Every structure is written in C-alpha cells, then in structure tokens.
Structure 1
Amino acid sequence: MQRWYNNIDPVLKDVIQSILVLDSNDPPAPEDLPIFTNGMPALLCTSLDQEDHLSLFGKAVPTERWAEWGNATLIAFFFKPFAIGPVFKLSAQQLKNEVIGLNRWNPQKAMALTIQLTYAQSTAEKMEVLHQFILSQVTANQRECAIIRYATDKILENPEADVLGQMLQELNLTERTFQRIFKKYVGITASEYRRICQFQLAFYQLKSGQFDKLTDVAYANGYFDQSHYVRSFKEFTETTPNDYLQFGLKKK
C-alpha cells in the first residue's frame, strides 16, 4: 500500500486539517491507518474501476470502513473541527448520525463533480478537482465559515463569560442570529461550548499542578469563586477537584 499526505493549499488552511491518499492493491491493515483519521470529519473519494464515489463523514471514518474499499484509491480531505458543516451547509445534527453521500447532499453538484473526476487522468488531477470543489464551497459560504471558525477559536482561547458579548460586537451580529448559526453547525449553544472550554483549561491547570490552592485555579479561569469551580468540575466529571487529586477520575 502507498500512503502519503498532500500539502494543503494556503487558501484552504483554515478549513482543511490534512489530505490523505491511500493507493493500494490490497486493503489497508488497521495499523497502516493514522489514528487521527478515525475521529476527523472528512470528504472521502473512493475510485475503483473508473467509478468515483463521494461521501461526507461528520465525525469519523470508522476503521472497518477503510478495509471495505479493498483496492480502491482513497482520497480523504480531513476538515478542522466544525468546518465541514458550514462548508456544505449541513447542520451538526445531520452530520452526527450518518454518512452522507454527495449525490444525496446535492445531486447536481455531485454529478458535475463526478464527471470531472471521471476525466481526470491521475490521482493528482483528481485531488485538484476536489480541491477546486471545496474551494468553491468555502467561497460560496464564506460568511458562515468565517463566523464558526472565528467564534470557536476565540472561545477556546478566552472562555470567560464576557467573550460572547465581545464577539457579537466584533461580528456585528444580533445574539439571536449568532446563536442560531453556532448551534446549527456546532451542535450546542455558544454558552455551552464556552463552559466546556472553560472547564478544559481549568482541568489542564489542575492536572499540571501549577497552582497553590483551588481558588487560584478558579480565578485564573474566570470562575466567580471556588464553589462555582467545584460545581462545574463535578458537573463534568462526577467528582470533585480534591477527590480527583487524591484518587483520580478512575474512582468513578
């Protein structure tokens, strides 16, 4: 089996995480597959006997699915978290539970893309066709792609309570419009996402031991006081910070 990663065009670096090509006469063994491919949303093109099949995976391409394609050539464009939804105008709910064939997503676009792939003379040409297709989708849905990318990155970097109000001003959006777009493509509200990011940053600090007392962790991560931090920790882990430090999460 031949396996390689392709360079990402700078114009797609905000939405594409990596591009993987598998060209093989034998089904790839599970150990041949990069671990991260099992948890990344992807546009997957399988080419076999001059037929091309295109599918969207919202959260994962299961390991067993790779082996099913046998000696097909596989081209996978792996998307950054939350990017695939706005690029293809698909909600998080639609992407959550099923694989979406491109012909079901948009029959006209899928047919046009399949024709282009059929006339491509090499794997490199097929990759260029797919690249141009994704670029056209990003361009067409640029506003919502930019909103989701900016919002998720900003909240992750600064998950304090006032970050949402700051973003509404910077994006020049009403709260209702912003929340609708965010929940559609991320699957949870911006407030819920902020609380998850806030907890994660606090958890990393607790785990690293870079504090003198719990109040240091609470205030450093935007919690009102230690009791609010303890309640949040228990909500996400079903244990308290002190119990975690003493016993670890395996206690539960």
Structure 2
Amino acid sequence: MQLYSEHYVSQKTERFVNKIWCLDNSIGESLIENKLVLPNGCFNLAFVTGNSIEVHTSKAKYEMNEGVYFCSQMTNKVLVNIYPKTKVTIIQFHTWTLSMFPKYDLSNFTDSIIKINPEELPFKIQIGSDIEIILNTINTYFEALFDLHSEKNTIEKICEIIRLHQDEISVSEIGKLLNLSQRLLQIKFKTATGLTIKKYIQILKFRKSVDQMVNSDLEKLKLTDIALYNKYFDQSHFIRKFKDVTKITPKTFDPNSYFLSHKR
C-alpha cells in the first residue's frame, strides 16, 4: 500500500487546482503517527473516509472523522496522525482560487480547519468516490470556470507577479504594477487568503528553500548558498526563519518525516 500519492488535473484546471493528493491507510491495521506537512501557500479540501485523521496545527488539534473539511492557509508545520482503516483525499487549491468566490471572507482564517456540508460545494463529490471520478468532476467544473473567467482577477495577478519576479518584490512595487494602492492590495489579499502579501512571499521562499535542500546534496550545496539564492540576508537569517516554521534547524531536517510534493 502506498501511503502518499499525487494525482494531476488537466491543463485548464491547473490554473485553479495544483493537484489532488491522497493519504491512504485504508487497509492498515496500525496508527501512522507524527507525519508532518509544511505550508505551501495553498488551500486544501479534504474528504475523509473510514475512521479519522488527527491534525495538529499551530492553533489547535483537530479530530477529523468521516466527512468533508476545508483547511485554511497554514503558516507553520502541521503534524498528522492517520488512524487505521482511514483514507483522506485532498484537493489542493492555488492561493487565488477562493477569490473566485467573493462571498468568502478569510481575513481571520489561518492555521485552521472546519468541517463543511458537502452540499454547499459548487461541485458534487460523494465521500469515498474513486480518484478517477473525483478527477473527472474537478476537471469538468474548473475547465468551465477557466472558460468563464478568461481574465485574471487581482489576487491571481498578485500571485503571478510574485511567482515570476526573480528578486523579492515589495507590496509597493506590486501596487505600481497593478496601479492599485498598497492598502487596497493588502485588504483584498488578506480577505481572499487570510495571509498578508509579505507572509505569502515568505512561505513561497521557504518552500523553495526546502525543495532545494531535499533535491540537492547539502554537502555540495551549502546552507549559505541556499540562503543567498532565496534572498535571505545570510545563513543565520535563513536558519532563524526555517526554525520559525519547522521548530528545527535545516541541518536536522529529515525529509522522510514529511509529506513533500512529488510535483515540480
């Protein structure tokens, strides 16, 4: 049995959905505990079947029994325990996707999880559905959304500017590019994501650093190199920011303890 797997959506859907990932302990007889997940700037919609999964965020412990759950932006590492006979299928939304539904105000919603009524979702997925059915449903809905919204909204434009900018960019520079005030940008972004623009940039920078650490030989690529490449002031600054999220130093980071994306 493969505990962690990833499944990818169509090219159009990928504008809104990064991937679908599964944590499968459905035939397991024992608790899988102390696995970790890192923040990545995405929202997650989790479908839990079987017993339950226990999730510890920086704010609270959540016992997620069978049902559908909306997971906010995370700003620190998350600890996960998966009980026997449990499977979790998770749809991972890009940062800007929820801004397509402006009735949601997420200003004060980070590091949190809520159980939701699946009838309230704009697409219909039965709990326990096969991954192919889920992929087909998600692709059908978001491909239509892609065609309906050919123009990018402000949140998507902000994220695109940050992602494509080679150097770390300030809020004032983003404002000039979009011809909007810093205050309006910050309000719009926090309402749609729960994060400040600065915090979002920090999360992306952190994840890029982790990817470099995991996919390179640290004996050849020194921490100083990673720090400077990702626009930290120096190695000490990088270590301090790394500890803020993970509570450990980069040197003691063990990738095998984490669910890290296969997708590049």
TM-score, scaled relative to structure 1: 0.54
Corresponding residue number in structure 2 for 1:178 = 185
Are residues 1:207 and 2:209 paired? no
Whether the 8 Å contact between 2:9 and 2:139 is mirrored in structure 1 is: no
**Alpha-carbon spacing, 1:6–1:27, altered in 2? closer, same or farther (3 Å):** farther
Corresponding residue number in structure 1 for 2:10 = 9
**One-letter amino acid matched to 2:92:** F
Whether the 8 Å contact between 2:44 and 2:91 is mirrored in structure 1 is: yes
Give the gaps of 5 or more residues in structure 1: 212-216, 222-228, 239-247
Are residues 1:143 and 2:156 paired? no
Corresponding residue pairs, total: 203
Offset, 1:181? 0.8
Corresponding residue number in structure 1 for 2:60 = none
Higher helix share: 1
Corresponding residue number in structure 2 for 1:243 = none
Decide which structure has the larger Cα Rg and report it. Answer: 1
Offset, 1:143? 2.0
Offset, 1:42? 1.2
Higher strand share: 2
**One-letter amino acid matched to 2:99:** P
**Alpha-carbon spacing, 1:38–1:178, altered in 2? closer, same or farther (3 Å):** closer
Aligned match for 1:86, one of 71, 93, 99? 99
**One-letter amino acid matched to 1:179:** Q
Give the gaps of 5 or more residues in structure 2: 52-65, 213-221, 242-248, 252-264
Offset, 1:124? 1.5
Distance in 2 (alpha carbons) for counterparts of 1:142 and 1:209 = 32
Distance in 2 (alpha carbons) for counterparts of 1:41 and 1:72 = 21
Offset, 1:56? 1.0
Whether the 8 Å contact between 1:56 and 1:101 is mirrored in structure 2 is: yes
Corresponding residue number in structure 2 for 1:109 = 120
Distance in 2 (alpha carbons) for counterparts of 1:195 and 1:45 = 29
Corresponding residue number in structure 2 for 1:166 = 176
Whether the 8 Å contact between 2:45 and 2:69 is mirrored in structure 1 is: yes
Identity of aligned residues (%): 13
Whether the 8 Å contact between 1:160 and 1:194 is mirrored in structure 2 is: no
**One-letter amino acid matched to 1:26:** G
Question: Relative contact order (alpha carbons < 8 A, sep ≥ 6): 1 or 2 greater?
Answer: 2
> Could you say what the CA RMSD is over the residues aligned between the two structures, in angstroms?
5.0
